[in-house]
Amino acid sequence: MKFSTIEGHEKSIRILQRAIANNALAHAYVFSGQAGIGKKKTALALAAAVNCLNARPEGGCGECPSCRKVDTFGHPDVHVLVADGDEIKIDQIRQVQADFALKPFEGTKKVLIVDNAEGMNAASANAFLKTLEEPPGDALIILITAMPQSLLPTIRSRCQEIRFHPLPRKTLARALVQMRGLSEEDAWFIAALAQGSMGRGLEMDIEQEKAARDELATLWSGLEQMGPGEALALAETLAKDRERLERLIEIGVEGLRDALVYRETGEERLLIHAQARQAGHQAADRYSLPRLLADMELFMASRKLLDRRVSAQLVAENLLLKFGRG
Ligand SMILES: [Zn+2]
């Protein structure tokens, strides 16, 4: 992993490169920001940079034996700690501490990367604090977390925090075209759904996402021809699978958002689902602004009721009857 292959995060990476060039790296960092946006990749690139055999101020070479070992998690001086079960246990911390007492085997710096660092329980956090208070001279510690506020304040205050922001949709779409071979249109669609997370963007099943939207479109268009009896029967069916109902409501919110955005801006690039633009055109033309806003409110309220564990049947009935009112 090298800095130059990481998508986005230019500012965070520049801070690290400058510190490397000036020999001014902190002993400990917190990399914070939502899951799946590149924090761990950057941590690995930093671990590689400080141990690279052809080290340059801009980072590791990505090719030397040391860099390659970091990439395959086989470098004896670079530890990546992940939770054992739901927590990072004190034994895991102790093991690392024992290793940190030794000189680096191969590299120049011992590096410890703690993934999901908020998973340290009280005992391990306190043990870990000792390492932070008296870090060995050649050690570098990187805590990765989406919840920096869950770290002990005494831990957080001893680390330099580097914030990672969600990737812009354009950056993500461009990367997805390259990495997944998606069409431009599909890449923009997935990039919107992934909400700035490269990890999510790479994992998402595009056919499944499209199928879910088609399903909802069919359902809504059918609803207009239904009488109340049929709508109630449909609500009963929908309520049987709460998760699916939640998903459909989520997509409904997304579709209405697209219709509203398109109505107000006429800007196709801002839509989440470009393939729904036909439907979006129709919805935006067919419905007045107050109607779209009322529907949006109805969907958001339904979502909130489901979150509050209100009966799925009640939520589905209310939604279908009100939405189908014409
Ligand atoms: Zn290298």
User: Nearest to residue 11, comparing CAs of 216, 152, 134, 165?
Assistant: 165
Q: How confident is the model at residue 282, as a pLDDT?
A: 65
Distance 206 CA to ligand 1 centre (A): 36
What pLDDT shows up at residue 278?
63
| pLDDT-based confidence at residue 280 (cuts at 50, 70, 90) | low
Neighbours of 121 (CB within 10 A): 15
- Is 153 a residue whose pLDDT tops 70? yes
Place of tokens 């020999």: 23
pLDDT tens digits along 16-62: 999 999 999 999 999 999 988 999 999 999 999 999 999 887 899 99
Ligand 1 centroid to Cα of residue 1, in Å, is: 9
Residue 277 has pLDDT above 60, yes or no: no
Has residue 80 got a pLDDT over 90?
A: yes
Check residue 109 and report its DSSP letter: S
pLDDT for the residue numbered 7: 86
229 pLDDT higher than 60 = yes
Q: 70: CA distance to ligand 1 center in Å?
A: 9
The β-bridge partners of 111 are 78, 140
198 Cα–ligand 1 center, Å: 25
Q: State yes or no: pLDDT of 81 exceeds 80.
A: yes
Please give the distance, rounded to the nearest whole angstrom, from the Cα atom of residue 5 to the centre of ligand 1. Answer: 14
Ligand 1 centroid to Cα of residue 58, in Å, is 11
Q: 59 alpha carbon to ligand 1 midpoint, in Å?
A: 8
Q: What is the pLDDT of residue 219?
A: 84
Report the alpha-carbon distance of residue 161 to residue 241 in Å, rounded: 42
Please, is 247 exposed, middle or buried when counting C-beta atoms within 10 Å of its C-beta (0-12, 13-18, 19+)?
middle
The Å distance, Cα 320 to ligand 1 centre, comes to 60
pLDDT of residue 225: 83
pLDDT of residue 164: 95
Rounded distance from Cα 146 to ligand 1 centre (Å) = 29
pLDDT band at 279 (very low <50, low <70, confident <90, very high): low
Q: Residue 79 Cα, ligand 1 centroid: separation in angstroms?
A: 17
Report how far ligand 1's centroid is from the alpha carbon of 45 (Å): 10
Give 306 Cα–ligand 1 centroid separation in angstroms. 51
288 against 37, higher pLDDT? 37
Distance 268 CA to ligand 1 centre (A): 44
